[in-house]
Amino acid sequence: MQLATEYGMEFQASGIFSGCTSLKSVIISNSVTSIGEMAFSGCTSLASIIMPNSVKNIGVGAFLDCTSLASVTIPNSVTSIRQRAFADSGITSVTIPNSVTSIEGGTFGGCSSLASVTIGRRVTTIEGSAFRGCTSLTSVTIPDSVTSIGYGAFEDCTGLANVTIGNSVTEISSEAFSGCTSLTSVTIPGNVSMGHYYFPGEFYMAYISNNYAGGTYIRESNSDYWWKE
């Protein structure tokens, strides 16, 4: 089944198309400004959605459990992507536009096929569990605009090998990179507030033993030991 919305139609009602398992594609008219809470959640056959530049808000859980949705283009008009908007979906890559300032809690959590993420240069906050369990993600670059990384933001991203953290980050919350068992390289600014179990292995000990110095830290092969490059 295909859906092409009519001019003037809005998606404000909660769960308006939730659970429509035969829905395969959606074309949204250019009058729509908001995609409401749980609007397409559980649409397990949905493989294509076209969002116009009129859309400003993608609601809580809007595409939750859309397991066939492999690709989505978020227009530059979007300023708000709410909690769990794309959680447990099938997306393989995503670009957060520069119009977005916060990646909210669990937005892409459980997207096990997500292999590529580009974070917009106006994002200041990555909230808790934003990318938790994105097991296909191998590398992430956090731009200089970001100041804080929330609880468990990248927890259990078991394929994540390389992380570059922008120079404006001052706080990394508990478990942010916990369970990232493949992590071997972290580039981080100096004097970041964090604790012992925020990265795997003995990263924290290496960081404090180098007087919280910024730079690239390398994890020794098959070891918990980290050293500063």
pLDDT band at 4, cuts 50/70/90?
A: very low
Amino acid at 87: A
Interval 20-27 mean pLDDT: 92
Predicted local confidence at residue 84, as pLDDT:
98
Tell me the two tokens of residue 155. 């927890």
- List phi, psi (to 5°) of 50: -110, 115
> Model confidence over 73-122: pLDDT tens digits?
999 999 999 999 999 999 999 999 999 999 999 999 999 999 999 999 99
> Model confidence over 162-195: pLDDT tens digits?
999 999 999 999 999 999 999 999 999 999 988 7
Q: Are strands 57-58 and 116-118 parallel, antiparallel or unpaired?
A: unpaired
pLDDT band at 3, cuts 50/70/90?
A: very low
Predicted local confidence at residue 221, as pLDDT:
87
14 pLDDT higher than 50: yes
Q: Measured between alpha carbons, how far is 40 from 32 in angstroms, rounded to an integer?
A: 15
Closest CA to 187 of 228, 129, 146: 228
Q: Measured over all CA atoms, what is the biggest interatomic distance in the chain, rounded to whole angstroms?
A: 61
Domains, the chain, in order of start with CATH, read 1-68 (no CATH), 92-229 (3.80.10.10)
Interval 5-33 mean pLDDT: 77
7 pLDDT higher than 50: no
Q: Measured between alpha carbons, how far is 201 from 196 in angstroms, rounded to an integer?
A: 9
Residue 164 parent element (H or E): strand 162-165
3-state secondary structure of 170: coil
Q: What percent of the chain stands above pLDDT 90?
A: 83
8 pLDDT higher than 70: no
